[in-house]
Chain A
């Protein structure tokens, strides 16, 4: 987000933010994401209990009273677990997207800029990986590295690379064909200048939208792996893992299922809305 406003130029920044906030999806998305960051930053202060402390209250206490969102099978406070879970979730999203975005940007820009056989090799292999689908890549990685949250995040990050690389490549191809880029070539600009001064700032807006929407995908994928037991291991307060544990008590304590689910859905919704909002405020075609 901050990078987007920066890249839009100091003059255009206020207009951009105004456009983002005036679109309902952008405003709601931003609010949800801020709330989430707030929870993650101040989890220690906000949480009434230690999230991993067993027997903080009774077992299976329904929501309300001392325990706002009830307690789980070990008597851990659900509200505290959800708060600390937001920290893990955001970290998962940030790291996984960080991996996909950095490598995807590099691959896409190099392929579009260098052309020739470098382009052919990079984009053909990206195409092959893309047709594997992210799930299969992530699963293969976990199969090799073994189940753990860290490995799941790496797996999700790597699995995202083909999509980021393709999107970046497509955007970069459009930019390198534009007259302003060719004018810079004519002026004698070298590769470094062309890529860093002209190409990167112009593909970044697109990639920021992709990355924002990508946080949603990454969180969903990592939570899915944790749900299967291939990601976060006990006693982590990871939402997907919490959801998996709730299956055994689905009749006795349905809130164990609903609460982490809502937490994931709201987070993902927040990033999806923010991404949609960013896209329409950055895309001049949709700008009315």
Chain B
């Protein structure tokens, strides 16, 4: 198991390292002069100021040198300063990251709590009307753009019914964005759970459990559910990454003050230090969650735990 986790951690570290390279290169991929573009929108910048920025970002040096400079600052926790306002990027991100993580976790919780039981029920009733109806709902859920679902929820629950606030950052404000993100992913979990359970139910060991005369409920709970949930657990890391991606859109709909909303604003304002910081943060979060999920999986599956 330590070997398994060791390779996963090494792989994650490798991914983050590649990200730092890509992030350094990113600014050079921009067609034209990045500094000019960044300051195009703010008036009254003198050529001297632009040169100053160029120097401070190290953009006048060869790329490998830039990378070393970037890494040196990064290891000291310095992600640079925002173009607009000149605040430290790390500070800006850390201020908003908890909001995004909160949203993603809440959505994950909703997705699992709704999706997994539905998938299990559908598999249990495979081929019946219940199964078909649930799977129609699930595929409709997958097909629904979550930005549209968000708008609809906003329209009904906030505007028409007035039950929930339109925007803001309180607990009540969390409900709609989390539902938006959670519901569309619940459909994915439902489909995955169903196919995994159906697969397990046709296995010899389930037949063997029945042949021992175990009651159906016990077979399902002990033999089917435990083995059938393993693929669902492996998918959770990837799903969390999707949620983080989805959060970008959802935060914008509900004016939820997370890193996604910050990133989109930064793209409009060409604030590259923020974009760089965002990409790096995003990959660190995704990699950490993936490793945590792998650890969970390793504990749950004895074939890995005891190897």
Q: Which A residues fall within an 8 A CB radius of B?
A: 25, 124-125, 127-128, 131-136, 139-140, 142-147, 216, 220, 223-224, 227-230, 240, 243, 246-247, 250-251, 254, 257-258, 260-261, 264-266, 268-269, 272-273, 276
Contacts and interface: CB of A to CB of B under 8 A. Distances in A.
B148 A272 contact: no
A139 B145 contact: no
B289 to A, nearest CB: 10
A225 B142 CA distance: 18
Contacts of B147: 223-224, 227, 240, 243
Contacts of A268: 142-145
Contact of A136 (B151, B252, B283): B283
Nearest to A216: B143
A272 B267 CA distance: 31
B24 to A, nearest CB: 13
Nearest to A254: B155
A230 B267 CA distance: 8
Interface of B: 11-12, 14-15, 18-19, 22, 26, 29-31, 139-140, 142-145, 147-148, 151-152, 154-155, 159, 241-242, 244-246, 248-249, 252-253, 263-264, 266-268, 272, 275, 279, 282-283, 286-287, 290
B283 A228 contact: no
A145 B31 contact: yes
A134 B139 contact: no
B248 A140 contact: no
B15 A131 contact: yes
B154 A250 contact: yes
Contact of B242 (A133, A229, A243, A266): A133
A265 B148 contact: yes
Contact of A223 (B142, B145, B245): B145
B152 A257 contact: yes
Contacts of A264: 145, 148
Contacts of B31: 145-146
A227 B241 contact: no
A18 B38 CA distance: 57
Contacts of A250: 151, 154-155, 159
B283 A135 contact: no
Contacts of A216: 142-143
B26 to A, nearest CB: 6
Given A228-B248, A265-B144, 10 more contacts: A135-B242, A139-B263, A140-B26, A143-B266, A144-B30, A147-B267, A257-B152, A261-B148, A261-B151, A276-B139
B287 to A, nearest CB: 7
Contact of A133 (B144, B249, B268, B286): B286
A261 B87 CA distance: 38
A269 B136 CA distance: 10
A268 B147 CA distance: 14
Given A223-B145, A254-B155, A265-B143, A228 B286 contact: no
Contacts of B245: 133-136
16 contacts: A127-B15, A128-B14, A128-B15, A131-B241, A132-B15, A139-B263, A146-B31, A229-B268, A246-B151, A257-B152, A258-B152, A261-B144, A261-B148, A264-B148, A265-B140, A265-B148
